[in-house]
Structure 1
Amino acid sequence: MTKKLLKFCAISLFALASCTKEDTTTTEASISIPESQKTALSAVEVKSKVLEQVNQNKQFNWGSTSDYMVWSALQNGNNVCTIGFGNSKTDFDRSKSSNHVYLQNQLLSLISKFEGKPIAKILINADPYLNLIDVIIEKQETVIALRRLGYVRYVEPSDFRMTDDGANENKNVTTDAIASSSGCGLESEAVNALDYTIVTPNAKAPWAFYKHNIPSAWSYSSGKGIGLGVVDSGASTVNSLLNASFNNGLSTGRTVQKYGVYVDSIWPWSTGTDGVNDLCGHGTSMASVATAPRNDKGQPVGVAYNANLVTYRAASNVVLDGYHEQNGVKNAFTALGNNANVKIISMSMGHIISVGKIEDGVRYAYSKGKLIFCAAGTSTSFTTFAGVIFPAWMAETVAVTGIKEASTYQACDVCHTGGKVDFTIMMERASGNHIPVNSYYDAQGDYVGGSSVATATTAGIAALVWAKNPTWTRDQVLAKMRQTSHLYPNKHAEYGYGMPNALLAVQ
């Protein structure tokens, strides 16, 4: 038996070595590039081709484009490239790939040969958990050779920016509109008394919570013992309710942890993060609506007011464009995946195109049993034509959108809808007001809307359900939420299972 096993292993290793050897015998001489493709497309031309596909309500993936398109995007994106590798399309986890070191070395050797540079001049980063590397690639021949390899899952430009105004020469391609609506703002706003109800000990329960029976659900669950991760722009370090007073009023015995994984630099090789503080304001709002304490200070309460909170400053704003934002989000997901105390992840950020390294990060966290909620999309004038955005369109995520306060389902003015949506949250009043939250500043309130607040609200409801049923799996929690939502068992083409009913979900 032992001899047979050894023989099988030897044959397997030989097959792998033969496959790899065959793959890497590609030479520059064997690659022919048409004369018309020896000059890269401009940034505007690349964007136009991307938008052409998105305009048709299609999911854009760099893997479906030509070698020339990928290389052109690299040329317009600091030549930074992410390469995902593995023994199959789903082989993203290094811990489950016994030959990941060998495959990585083979890749770096090939790139070094084609680029004519030592590996030290090529490699920016090798992810410790995922089968991917970030490298510098200048030659189109290298791109072609890499995409021919059977063990390469994807080759993507890592720093090509759809929101780079400086490259936007074609005014018909209004990519600057994404950047102009970043979702940021540190201002406060007086909360109208019609938009909340005072609950003990002296907290403001937002009007929208009552539309989903959240206050009634608090008689059964407050999220106690559940860890909820928020991947966003960070969380305020000056609002006491998200810091020293996180345990205040009826919120007790819980923890808040803040991490910073975003590098605020134009240089991809920079590694110093800019800390945990929210310099945008968006992340603070999301953390507040999901987990703010049931306080005695007269400020808005969160859905799961006794859940533990873990926040990540992973990006500067809600549009995940550029190397450091995408890398930050990937790092946040892998870290949360490895955090045994976190069961739920909420992210109200995204992009109109897919990003391989973020896909890997999401799948890594999902493989660890996390329940992941992502915003379906909140439109700018640029993105109104897009359906459910990335990564909410992924099978591993639960997409959430927002609707208006009405007797019939009506998408909020800027909310995306579509077949991938699972849940909808009522978050826009006839008055135009949205959901009250805690401001970035202490003892002040604000309003927040869109699919962003809908996502964080739904994540909070999931925490209530899981806390009530601590032995349940992610799939059981999700099934209960679906089964007790307004439209179940029929899934609407635009609004999913509709509005979750927190009370029914925890009974």
Structure 2
Amino acid sequence: MPKRILPLFLLTMLFSISCSREDSTDNKTIVIPENQKTPLTPSQINAKIDESINAKGTFNWKNADSYLLWSAVVNGNNVVTIGFGNSKTNFERAKTANNAKIQNELLGIIMKYEDTSLDKVLLSADSDLNLIDVSISKQETIIALRQSKYIRYIEPGDYNYLAVRNAQYRPNVVVNSSVGTSSGCGYESEALATSDYTTVTPNAKVPWTFYQHSIPNAWTISTGRAVTIGIIDSGVSPNQSLLGSNFNNGLSTGRSIQKNGVYVDSIWPWVTTTDGVNDLCGHGTSMASVAAAPRNDRGLPVGVAYNADLVTYRAAANVVLDGYQEQEGVKKAFTALGNNAKVKIISMSMGYVFSVGKIEDAIKYAYGKGKLIFCAAGTSTSFTTFAGVIFPAWMSETVAVTGVKESSIYQACDVCHTGSKVDFTVVMQRASSGNTVPVDSYYENQTDYVGGSSVATATTAGIAALVWSKNPTWTRDQVLTKMRQSASLYPNRNAEYGYGNVNAFLAVQ
């Protein structure tokens, strides 16, 4: 096992780790049945997960027995994520005076049952959240940990459920490829049909969908100035200057774009070197474009909040958050944006089939800092056609958004998920041509189309920036209430489409 680098605050604790009498398992003998000493295969694990999803509509490792949990751990590099605290809602270190004591107690249990030292056990300890990533190989260790009153959750940290599913149903597809339709990636450029945009001063193209939401009318009142949007995605292209050196172009002035990278492109959980800020997928570039591309003089599409500031995070390789490094990256991005006082809105058009504890914690952390969080309800791919509204869009701390077709009645786009957790919709698919939303391409001076719940989410985040810019003293809840009141289905909430399409002009009144 490669050598781990220990957090500095733990170095002084290496010789003080012990278990309290109350939670000690010294006097408890853990017996593993003979038929559970060999781990389940990935196919068997997935079958049990699928059984839960089919029966309940979801799956959570909290409800899995220790044998299934251990089997997934063994099939996932032996990585385990542990969320701890004094209660189920106690996830923040700053609000947990005894967090170091609890952490040491749990590490003591692990070292005892694994019969090894701390440097072989601890992979990382989060500085903001009550969670640690550890290496565990024995089922007895998991059972002993689950007996502690301080455990909020124990999850396999690197079990790739969707990769296994893909291998089962599409055996000839390379799962880890960053570029491909199944992962939401693609570098394509496409010329825009003249019917899909209107040219406005100084020479910017307004996407047809903006008129469906009265966004151009809203610009007479608000353009998003002094509001910062955080985008968690695959990064931003280094080849599109309108999302770089020319972010202030045309009628977009006095604002900034800050690019960050927290994604580690490695199959090994203990590797910590990120691969930078640049988009190697294409998806993140499209999301940044629709949310806040400049009202430019280059003849390219403008974004919804064209005078808003942007803080972008390359947090994952693609939109399907499968595996340790992508989930860890998203966790880091949410906590960092939560700690960024300038950021008011967070938009993430990525997700997963079932909940991930560390991402839940990070979202709750950012939410606790007053952030308004928009997440995509889901776009059907080869991975997710069987799911409804996906994680984390179903969380109460997030606002779920999906896409609908251009129509007098509500109809989901061809690949968009709907359901009771949806809050808003965005018209993003043409009725006749099927064309979606024009955006700035990955490449300089080129355009593209992007669709699904992804573009709907980034569009809605942009509208929220218009509202908040008009009302800078408002809270998150006031902004969200105004958006709901301005939506076409308000005050009723549709079972599939929430409050429907937001009228941006009404929202900024």
TM-score range, shorter chain: over 0.9
In structure 2, C-alpha distance between the alignment counterparts of 1:221 and 1:119, rounded to whole Å? 55
CA displacement at 1:56 relative to structure 2 = 3.6
Matched AA of 2:343: V
1:471 aligned to which of 451, 470, 473 = 473
2:400 aligned residue: 399
Partner-residue secondary structure (3-state), 1:311? strand
In structure 2, C-alpha distance between the alignment counterparts of 1:419 and 1:215, rounded to whole Å? 30
CA displacement at 1:385 relative to structure 2 = 2.2
CA displacement at 1:55 relative to structure 2 = 2.8
Matched AA of 1:396: E
1:48 aligned residue: 47
In structure 1, C-alpha distance between the alignment counterparts of 2:208 and 2:55, rounded to whole Å? 37
For residues 314-329 of structure 1, the aligned pairs below 5 Å read: 314-329=315-330
1:84 aligned residue: 83
1:287 aligned residue: 288
In structure 2, C-alpha distance between the alignment counterparts of 1:382 and 1:98, rounded to whole Å? 42
In structure 2, C-alpha distance between the alignment counterparts of 1:429 and 1:472, rounded to whole Å? 35
In structure 2, C-alpha distance between the alignment counterparts of 1:364 and 1:150, rounded to whole Å? 22
Taking a change above 3 Å as real, the CA distance of residues 224 and 381 of structure 1, as seen in their structure-2 partners, is same
1:155 aligned residue: 154
For residues 487-498 of structure 1, the aligned pairs below 5 Å read: 487-498=489-500
2:446 aligned residue: 444
Taking a change above 3 Å as real, the CA distance of residues 255 and 175 of structure 1, as seen in their structure-2 partners, is same
Partner-residue secondary structure (3-state), 1:22? coil
Partner-residue secondary structure (3-state), 1:30? coil
TM score, norm. by length of structure 2:
0.93
Cα pair 1:80 1:159 within 8 Å, conserved: yes
In structure 1, C-alpha distance between the alignment counterparts of 2:170 and 2:305, rounded to whole Å? 45
**Which stretches in structure 2 are left out of the alignment for 5+ residues?**
1-17
CA displacement at 1:326 relative to structure 2 = 0.2
Cα pair 1:375 1:452 within 8 Å, conserved: yes
1:103 aligned residue: 102
In structure 2, C-alpha distance between the alignment counterparts of 1:388 and 1:505, rounded to whole Å? 26
- Coordinate RMSD, CA, aligned: 2.0
CA displacement at 1:162 relative to structure 2 = 1.6
Matched AA of 1:283: G
CA displacement at 1:168 relative to structure 2 = 3.7
CA offsets 1:80-134 (integer angstroms, 9 cap, x no match)? 0000000011111101100001111111111000000101101000001000000
Partner-residue secondary structure (3-state), 2:321? coil
Taking a change above 3 Å as real, the CA distance of residues 167 and 195 of structure 1, as seen in their structure-2 partners, is closer
2:188 aligned residue: 187
CA displacement at 1:353 relative to structure 2 = 1.1
In structure 2, C-alpha distance between the alignment counterparts of 1:288 and 1:412, rounded to whole Å? 21
CA displacement at 1:382 relative to structure 2 = 3.7
Partner-residue secondary structure (3-state), 1:181? helix
In structure 2, C-alpha distance between the alignment counterparts of 1:478 and 1:192, rounded to whole Å? 34
Matched AA of 2:22: E
1:11 aligned residue: none
**Which stretches in structure 1 are left out of the alignment for 5+ residues?**
1-17
CA offsets 1:263-291 (integer angstroms, 9 cap, x no match)? 00111100000000000000000000000
Cα pair 2:163 2:322 within 8 Å, conserved: no
In structure 2, C-alpha distance between the alignment counterparts of 1:380 and 1:338, rounded to whole Å? 33
- The alignment status of 1:32 with 2:55, answered yes or no, reads no
2:141 aligned residue: 142
The total of aligned residue pairs comes to: 489
Taking a change above 3 Å as real, the CA distance of residues 176 and 237 of structure 1, as seen in their structure-2 partners, is closer
TM score, norm. by length of structure 1:
0.94
In structure 1, C-alpha distance between the alignment counterparts of 2:233 and 2:248, rounded to whole Å? 22
Partner-residue secondary structure (3-state), 2:326? helix
